[in-house]
Amino acid sequence: MTNIASTAHTFGQLNPEEIANLVEASADISLTLNSAGVIQSIAFGNPDLRSPNLENWVGKSWIDMVTVESRPKIQALLTDANESSLSRFRQINVPMPGASDLPLLCATLKIGSSGQIIALARDLREISLLQQRLVDAQQAIERDYTRLRQLETRYRVLFEMASEAVLVLDANTFKIVEANPRAADLLSESIKKLNGRSLIDYLAKGDRIQAQSLLSKVAYTSTAADLNTKLLNGQEAFLSAAPFRNENQSLLLITIKRSGEFVDRQDAGAQSLVIQALENAPDGFIVTNSAGKILTANQAFLRLVMADKLDQILNEPLERWLERSSVDLRVMLSNLQEKGSIKLFATSIRDSFGTLHPVEISAVSVSYPHSCLGFTIREVGSRIRSKIQPDESITRSSEELTQLVGRLPLKEIINETTDLIEQLCIKAALDLTRGNRVSASEMLGLSRQSLYIKLRKYNLSDQSKDSDIEE
């Protein structure tokens, strides 16, 4: 008896209830359908799949219970069962309310002469989860590989374009593993010939023992070190060595500078100290372009204008925080263009909450290496008033006015007082704008013609005549 015949004989001895139990146990979900694909009954071999959504399938067409892309597969399963009694396995997806689609691996079997079809389905969620994890892992590996490739590209570009001579040595033999073009020029050798040669061979004979001792110390102590030495071609050089590892290999990163270049580096260090001092100075310091837009600022200025981060003020015009906005900035830019610097310009800074802080601003124009303006801003409080005090003659006039009470009618005293206040304000505006009548008229809210009339009235014309760029 063949295996097929033996199996048929065995199943033939089972009663209907035992066959139903066998079908239910062989699949996570078992469906009984008519020849048209309408579901007549459903059994759950996996209790975890039991849900109202699936239990309501009875009496409905199976093809309507799956996702759109799975409907051709359901049609193929039914066709195969009707034509050849047994279909091959196909994956379908069942929509689940409020959750991801349920993936099932299904096959159909036609039984008896009534045309009934049994559909057996296996839950593929675990396999799908594993497949998704595999895809995620592959994508993560690809991202890591791409990042490493980008890092290697950046390293290669930096290595090749570095202005310093850079070498990578084997920490055990001190042989050159890699060299950049600058190192080849400094050692008077091609990169191809440098690779595999010992760095010691390119040093003056009198310095080789000391250099070898230094490199050995760096390799074994993992501590960076420096050495003044002489190259074989006679040039004085400054050698720096630092250890690092690449996979399982110990390497040394070597930079070599001519003695003059080392001095330049010391100068750069001094400049760095100046920058650090300005950054931590108690007075505000900003750098703008020639139009007054902020390029950088120190922490003191950020505190003054109540800004949390430097990004909040970058590329913003300085006039945004000045009390008289464009008038103040125009006066400062005009003086910087004419004289190259200004000192103790009195104004006020308005912070982000609208509070005014009296300040004195000193500034300088820099044209190399890029055209820019540097502003030092110092809070002065009440000291700002000392810059706009009236002269002694005006002070005496104000004292004389108080003596007019009782001698003249109030109307005439008010007229005298108005003239005095007007004179004080005009003189203060001229002092703040360095005698620029155009800016002073904007500051006072007067037309230029009205200002000129009042200047002649109070004999102040000579004070600003030389500085008036409009006349």
Q: For 114-159, give the DSSP string.
A: TTEEEEEEEE-HHHHHHHHHHHHHHHHHHHHHHHHHHHHHHHHHHH
Three-state SS for 327?
Answer: helix
Tokens 């396995």 map to which residue?
Answer: 89
∠ at Cα 76 (72, 80), nearest 5°? 175
Q: Tell me, what's the pLDDT at 141?
A: 92
C-alpha to C-alpha distance for 279 and 301, rounded to whole angstroms:
10
119, 30 contact by CB (below 8 A):
yes
First to last CA, the chain: 124
- Record: fold of 389-465: Arc Repressor Mutant, subunit A (1.10.10)
- The answer for residues whose C-beta is within 8 angstroms of residue 173's C-beta and 6 or more apart is 198
Three-state SS for 364?
Answer: strand
What is the pTM for the complete model shown?
0.36
328, 321, 324, 318: which is closest to 294 by C-alpha? 318
CATH of 3-123, one of 3.40.1350.10, 3.30.450.20, 3.40.50.10490, 3.30.465.10: 3.30.450.20
Q: Tell me, what's the pLDDT at 70?
A: 92
455, 464 contact by CB (below 8 A):
yes
Q: Tell me, what's the pLDDT at 169?
A: 92
- The answer for residues whose C-beta is within 8 angstroms of residue 17's C-beta and 6 or more apart is none
CATH of 280-387, one of 3.40.50.720, 1.10.760.10, 2.40.50.100, 3.30.450.20: 3.30.450.20
| pLDDT tens-place values along the chain, 471 residues long | 445 444 444 444 445 555 555 565 668 888 889 888 899 988 888 888 888 888 889 999 999 999 999 999 999 999 888 888 788 899 999 998 888 888 999 999 888 777 788 899 998 888 888 888 999 999 999 998 888 888 888 888 887 877 788 999 999 999 999 998 888 888 888 888 888 999 999 998 888 999 999 999 998 888 888 888 888 888 888 888 999 888 788 899 999 887 655 444 555 555 667 777 778 888 889 988 888 888 888 888 998 888 888 888 888 888 888 887 778 888 888 888 888 888 888 888 888 888 888 888 899 988 755 678 889 998 887 554 444 444 444 454 555 656 555 456 667 667 767 777 777 788 877 777 777 777 777 777 788 787 888 788 777 765 444 444 344
311, 308, 279: which is closest to 294 by C-alpha? 311
